[in-house]
Amino acid sequence: MTSAVPTLDGVTPSDLDAFRSDVVAFLETSKADGSACPSFGAILPPDLHEIARSWQAKVAAAGFAGIHWPTEFGGRGLPRTYIAVWMEECARFGVSPYLNLQGLVLAGEAILRSGTDEQRRRYLPATLTGEILWCQLFSEPNAGSDLASLQTTAIPDGDRFVVNGQKVWTSNGQFAEHAILMARTNPDEPGHRGISFFLVDMHSPGIDVRPLRQMTGDAEFCEVFLDDVVIPADGLLGPLHGGWRVAMEVLQDERGSSGSAGLIGLERRLAQLRELSSDDPVHTDALMQLLSRGLALKAMMLRSDGGPASAAAGKLMRSELEFDAQLLEVQLRGAEALLAGPRLRPFLYAPGMKLGGGTSEIQRNIIAERILGLPR
């Protein structure tokens, strides 16, 4: 018999069991009829754009989008405990839990936390249904990991802001209707001071989106040029010159959003690595080291507090593990692994994992300063 003892947020195990049964039934039906979008990680591939849009609409109609968002904005108003169930089962079924991370996790959560009621009403329901696809205008050619040095300006001009600058590594920028933008509203203030956070219509005059071809052959990322782009005053999210705090909460969501679903993905990846073998003792030793690192990461994830330091450590360990695993797999499989086919793309994609969401070097700095207490 299932215990009725509630969790800290008042949810009992039997509540979660019932919810899980509904989720499993929905995912089984969706997999069977071919409507489920395959899992793709943090970046939506261009070739899955249409099916991901349709999938988001279906997920929303079934009540599995914005599970913890207030009902007045299209959600179900349930405790966050339920989100873990949804993410876990999507990971087990190998389907995407949402249209894209930039919209449902980054933009959506930022608007929930820092937006006005009007901003919430305008953007949140349409985000849940997939009507709005979001992209992220943060990184610049000279301000990637060092985001505080960004140079794009948004100069106040009456009841509007005029934006000029360049952004890069913008995922899905060629498809997005709206973007979250960081820009300097007070050029006289150095570093993170004087930066504000905006919601931008990507169809605004003066926005030029140019897809960037990767060595995988895809164009998941874009560079975006902003030339006298006008943002109305109601496009400001959070306080004027206070966008750094809004952005840091967004980046923490990005680095720590996978939770238990990330644990399931890690376990699946370790199972794949266990199937590899080699008669070469050097390769065998390298494989054992990878598996040991993977088990250490799993143990850390199980006891993680979800804070920024834990998220940084998890992101660092996962991306470095996958990069080294791809290199070893190519060595074990030989020249065949470098021929065009399904095994080549993950190998070519792996170096980018050490850059996206904050480089490995930045994650090490966070660990050094916030966990080890070392000086900046």
Give the CATH number for residue 353: 1.20.140.10
Cα–Cα distance, 55 to 267 (Å, whole number): 26
Locate all alpha helices (DSSP H) within the chain, ordered by sequence: 13-33, 49-61, 81-93, 101, 108-114, 117-128, 243-255, 259-274, 281-302, 308-333, 344-353, 360-370
Q: Show the domain range for 218.
A: 134-241
Residue 209, in any domain of the structure: yes
Question: What is the average per-residue pLDDT within 246-275?
Answer: 76
Sequence-ordered list of residues with C-beta below 8 angstroms from that of 164, at least 6 positions apart, any chain: 152, 153, 155, 226, 227, 228, 229
Q: Is the pLDDT of residue 98 over 90?
A: yes
Residue 267, in any domain of the structure: yes
Q: Which phi and psi (to 5°) does residue 178 adopt?
A: -135, 165
Cα–Cα distance, 103 to 82 (Å, whole number): 19
Sequence-ordered list of residues with C-beta below 8 angstroms from that of 125, at least 6 positions apart, any chain: 73, 74
Cα–Cα distance, 104 to 254 (Å, whole number): 11
For tokens 């930022």, the residue is 110
Average confidence score pLDDT of the chain: 89
Looking up residue 47, the CATH number of its domain turns out to be 1.10.540
- Lowest mean pLDDT of 154-163, 264-273, 300-309, name the range: 300-309
pLDDT category, 254, cuts 50, 70, 90? Answer: low
Shared domain check, 288 and 226: no
Q: For residue range 112-164, what is the model confidence (pLDDT) as tens digits?
A: 999 999 999 999 999 999 999 999 999 999 887 788 899 999 999 999 999 99
Counted domains in the chain: 3
Shared domain check, 83 and 142: no
Beta bridge partners of 351: none
Residue 265, in any domain of the structure: yes
Residue 186, in any domain of the structure: yes
Shared domain check, 269 and 189: no
Which of 241, 273, 293 is a domain's end point?
Answer: 241
Q: Burial-class residue 341 by CB neighbours within 10 Å (0-12, 13-18, 19+).
A: exposed
Residue 247, in any domain of the structure: no
Q: Is the pLDDT of residue 1 over 60?
A: no
Helix (H) or strand (E) holding 181: strand 178-184
Shared domain check, 233 and 144: yes
Which of 212, 241, 270 is a domain's end point?
Answer: 241
Cα–Cα distance, 232 to 246 (Å, whole number): 19
Which of 207, 241, 275 is a domain's end point?
Answer: 241
**Two structure tokens written together for 105:** 């996790």
Looking up residue 186, the CATH number of its domain turns out to be 2.40.110.10
pLDDT category, 8, cuts 50, 70, 90? Answer: low
What is the full DSSP assignment across 129-160? TTSS-EEEE--BTTBSS-GGG---EEEEETTE
- Between strands 134-137 and 178-184, the pairing is parallel
Q: Is the pLDDT of residue 57 over 80?
A: yes
pLDDT category, 256, cuts 50, 70, 90? Answer: very low
Q: Is the pLDDT of residue 257 over 50?
A: no
Question: What is the average per-residue pLDDT within 228-236?
Answer: 98
What pLDDT is stored for residue 5 in this prediction? 54
Shared domain check, 235 and 334: no
Shared domain check, 200 and 266: no
Q: Is the pLDDT of residue 2 over 50?
A: no
Shared domain check, 279 and 236: no
Shared domain check, 154 and 90: no
Residue 277, in any domain of the structure: yes
Cα–Cα distance, 345 to 334 (Å, whole number): 15
Shared domain check, 213 and 145: yes
Residue 195, in any domain of the structure: yes
Residue 268, in any domain of the structure: yes
Q: Is the pLDDT of residue 9 over 80?
A: no
By annotation, the residues acting in catalysis are 254
How many Cα atoms are found within 13 Å in the side-chain-facing hemisphere of 182?
Answer: 31
**Two structure tokens written together for 286:** 């390298």
Cα–Cα distance, 130 to 184 (Å, whole number): 30
Q: For residue range 306-330, what is the model confidence (pLDDT) as tens digits?
A: 666 777 888 899 999 999 999 998 8
Shared domain check, 263 and 221: no
Q: Burial-class residue 309 by CB neighbours within 10 Å (0-12, 13-18, 19+).
A: middle
Q: For residue range 173-202, what is the model confidence (pLDDT) as tens digits?
A: 999 999 999 999 998 888 889 999 999 999
Q: Is the pLDDT of residue 27 over 80?
A: yes
Shared domain check, 170 and 95: no
Shared domain check, 288 and 193: no
pTM attached to this predicted model = 0.86
Task: Residue 310: count other Cβ atoms within 10 Å of its Cβ.
Answer: 19
What pLDDT is stored for residue 307 in this prediction? 67
